[in-house]
Structure 1
């Protein structure tokens, strides 16, 4: 059965008003399989304590705990020197998966894949790259990198973001047809006039994405909404998966 999670950007308004990601998740009554927190939304002085609380919350509610790194995996075609520190953080706080934007990379090498595989194996934490809404994330390039990763037997997964294509004038459904075989996570959102909107208010045929999704691939809702809208959107996605 497909798991449905949320990215804490769903609480954007509340977080901007000063509430923490932990407090908002702790108050949540909606039925979810887990959450993905965003590294940039922590306050440095309280981050450690909040991660402890999030770990405890995930354990209490049997939720998956995922973490979005606000950095790029590759900087001028070199692996981000901070990467291992993120794996250590994940291991320390029971985070099961890390998500990171691809970054600047022309071609990946067998040596780089070996290093990434070593980190994933050592820390037992999943790593997923994501398509960016810029030149680093155009479809042709993402498809090439995903193929190279596959050819080098990479353990790195791929997060397909259904909304980011609009900012680089590419069609998400076209991208999906090429990248679905590599996808390990679906970041689901919809777009209208280059703004995120509720699923049924945008341009993306999101139900087609859900219908063709393998049951072992989780869906993460990643767009701002109210608590009542969140309940409705979760129900909507669950219904689409059952259709």
Structure 2
């Protein structure tokens, strides 16, 4: 699926957490968005859970942050840890509407939620999906759900069932494919790519080290054949987000190198 024309470069987003959660909470997203711009990124992912204060999520604060990101020549992704589906599998319409409102204030191009739901999946009945799509279609941002690190909201079957139940022509709801999170949930990322690639409009990139609950996100090695195979199985014309940590001893130099590499990988 990853078919590139000569010279084509994929858009690259730097996820705020790649600079370190403590740094974002200390300095604010605007400070590190400037670092992302200097590194040559196309976009910057704002993480709601890294706001130092709830006041940072107020409409005026989000508008100011969005203005600052655009002034740097970047576009914004708005990421919230909220789930589209509640723990009982039902649609959490309040969480969806809040995420859409906050993304609108930021003027985000993409708004990302976790899928949520139960280990067995989410509600996929027509009435539930109609309510979700009615809200989503009011948004100017692309709405995506991400595979998380838990079985609830992190299985291939849950995403496949949801997308198969959506109207065939609908692209209002798509997914963020996190290359590493599948492992936490006990799923095979290559199997996930084979089944879900047509629904992917944003890729979160990372490799994983460790076992079981003691897993950590790391930068993929240049010779990581598994990661290369994943990128080859996913669309090349959708943005790729750097969610692995940069080298703390050379943050900006490493960020620039990783942006250049991932845009051409």
Same fold (TM over 0.5): yes
Distance of 2:167 and 2:230 partners within structure 1: 22
Structure 2: 5+ residue stretches without partners: 1-8
Q: How does 1:176-195 map to 2 (within 5 A)?
A: 176-193=193-210, 194-195=215-216
1:101 to 82, 106, 114: 114
Deviation track 1:202-222 (CA, whole Å, cap 9, x = no partner) reads 966222233344343111111
Aligned with 1:156 (options 148, 155, 173): 173
Normalising by structure 1, report the TM-score. Answer: 0.88
* Unmatched segments (≥5 aa) in structure 1: none
Q: CA deviation at 1:157?
A: 0.9
Deviation at 1:227, TM superposition (A): 2.5
Instruction: List aligned pairs for 1:22-61, cutoff 5 A.
Output: 22-28=30-36, 29-42=38-51, 43-48=53-58, 50-61=61-72
1:159-179 superposed Cα distances (whole Å, 9 cap, x missing partner): 111000111232212211111
Work out the CA distance in 2 between the residues paired with 1:118 and 1:141: 21
Partner deviation per Cα, 1:132-172 (whole Å, 9 max, x = no partner): 12112122222222222354836201111100011123221
**20-29 or 1-10: which moved more?**
20-29
Indicate if the aligned counterparts of 1:73 and 1:102 stay in contact, CA closer than 8 A: yes
Work out whether residues 149 and 181 of structure 2, in 8 Å CA contact, stay in contact via their aligned partners in 1. Answer: yes
Which has the larger helix fraction?
Answer: 1
- Counterpart of 2:226 in structure 1 is 205
Question: Quick check: 1:189–1:221 contact (8 Å CA) kept in 2?
Answer: yes
> What is the aligned-residue RMSD (CA, Å)?
2.3
CA distance in 2, matches of 1:13, 1:86: 21
CA offset digits 1:21-78 (Å, max 9, x no partner):
2211124411011111111111213444642332112322332211111111111222
> Contact 2:217–2:244 (CA<8 Å) still a contact in 1?
yes
- 217, 226, 242: which is aligned to 1:196? 217
Structure 1 residue 78 and structure 2 residue 90: aligned?
A: yes
Q: Does 1:216 align with 2:227?
A: no
TM-score relative to the length of structure 2: 0.81
- Provide the residue aligned with 2:27 in structure 1: 19
- The whole-number CA distance in structure 1 between the counterparts of 2:225 and 2:39 is 24
Q: Equivalents in 1 of 2:174, 2:77: separation in Å?
A: 14
| Match in the other structure for 1:235 | 260
Name the CA distance, whole Å, in 1 between partners of 2:144 and 2:225: 23
Residue correspondences, number: 240
